[in-house]
Structures are given as structure tokens and as C-alpha cells.
Structure 1
Amino acid sequence: MKQYYAQHVKATVKPGKRDELIQQLQQLSAELLTRASGCIYYLISTTEEPDVLWISELWTSKEAKDAIAMKPESAKGMKELMPLITSMTDRTHLTVVGGTGVD
């Protein structure tokens, strides 16, 4: 059975900075992840909490995710994002073993 790697993270942002962070995450994901081998999806979601984002990722493997994280462009992008973020909690790592849309 094929297994995938997933991660969900809750990012709390500085008051009033959520839209700016969304824009920067979308730009960073467009630059890095559209060319990334192994990225199946990268979702940026909001809830009724005005200063919270949820980021959900699905990868072919943890190694594929780690390979992107090690790129200098990723480190630079994250360094630029961090001033907008006050905390990243509820980080959940998952091994996906089935479901609709995955083999």
C-alpha cells in the first residue's frame, strides 16, 4: 500500500496581517511548489478566527517535503514570512494510507 506524508499547521499571525501572509504564502508556493517534485497539494485556509491560518500539505513522501525545505529559496521565503507570524502550533504530521484522490 502506498503511503503519503501530510502536515497540518495552525499559524497565528500578528493582528491585521492575515491577508498579507496569505498573499506571501501564495507567492512562495507558486514559486517553489509548482515546480516541486512530490507536492500533491498545499492549502492555505482560514476560519472565523481573524488572525489564524491553517496550512495543509500532502506530499508523496516526507523526503520530498524535506528536500524542498532544504532549498535556499525556502529558507529565504520563511525568513521573510516569520515577522508576520506570532506562533505556529498544532503541527500535526500524518501518514496517509488511503482516501479519495490518492492511490
Structure 2
Amino acid sequence: MSKFGMYAKFTAKPGEREALAAILLEAAAAAEPVQECELYIVNLSESEPDILWVTEVWSSAEAHAASLALEATRATIQRAMPLIAGVEPVKLIPAGGKGLVFGSAAQ
């Protein structure tokens, strides 16, 4: 089973980037004990004042999908929606790198 990764580009409504970042950082903190979520980083664009990027790595696409079905996740999404002007997800298959652990079995 392959790991699942995603870059999600969030465009916040004007002036709402910091509030959106705070909600996304709450989501990151909530994911801390979830073993299937291996990486969840909120990034602020240096050059675009309304843009945030979220970098995620999950043990599998199924684990990511299951996380989206959780009541706490759905509640966080509902809180964030009024602050979001757009989202552009880019799904990935992580191949490896510093900080990313792969088991010895074939991925």
C-alpha cells in the first residue's frame, strides 16, 4: 500500500489568512496523536498575502479519507469554510526523503 500525500493551496478571503491558518494549525494539533497522519504542515506564502499551503502525508489514501469522515474534522472544515475563497488540492504518492519513514515491505 502506498503512502498518500497532498499539497493543498488555500486562498483565504482578503484579510482572513491568519484566522484560517489558526484553524488549520488546530487541525494539525488534533492530528498529532493520529498515527496514520505522518505529516501535516501549514505554510504561509511569502509573496501572496491570501495564500496558505498545507503539506500532508498519510499512511494511505484510505486513512486520509477516513479522517475526513470524522465528526471533529467535519466541524473544523465547517469553521474554516467561511474564510476560504478557494482550494486547489494536488494529490501525490510520496517516494521518500528526510523525515519520511517507509517500512521494509514493498510500498
SS in 2 for 1:101: coil
For residues 3-42 of structure 1, what are the structure 2 equivalents within 5 Å? 3-31=2-30, 33-42=31-40
2:78 corresponds in structure 1 to 79
TM-score (norm 2): 0.85
Quote how far apart the aligned CAs of 1:3 are.
3.0
Task: State the shift of 1:92 in Å.
Answer: 0.8
2:93 partner SS: strand
1:42 is displaced (CA, Å) by 0.4
> For the residues of structure 2 that align with 1:101 and 1:30, how far apart are their CA atoms?
18
5+ residue gaps, structure 1: none
Aligned to 1:68: 67
Q: Is the deviation greater in 49-58 or in 92-101?
A: 92-101
Contact 1:3–1:98 (8 Å) recurs in 2: no
SS of 1:96's equivalent in the other structure is coil
CA shift for structure 1 position 98: 2.5
Q: Specify the alignment match of 2:105 in structure 1.
A: none
CA–CA separation in structure 2 for the residues paired with 1:96 and 1:23: 26
**Residue 28 (structure 1) shift:** 2.5
User: Root-mean-square deviation (CA), in Å?
Assistant: 1.4
Match of 2:96 in 1: 98
**1:31-80 Cα distance to aligned partner (Å, 9 max, x none):** 2x012131111011111100000111011111111111110111111011
Give me the identity figure in percent. Answer: 30
Contact 1:37/1:64 (CA < 8 Å) preserved in 2? no
What residue number does 2:41 align with? Answer: 43
Scaled by the length of structure 1, the TM-score of the pair is 0.88
Which 4+ stretches in 1 moved above 4 angstroms? Answer: none
Q: Structure 2 stretches of 5 or more lacking a match?
A: 103-107
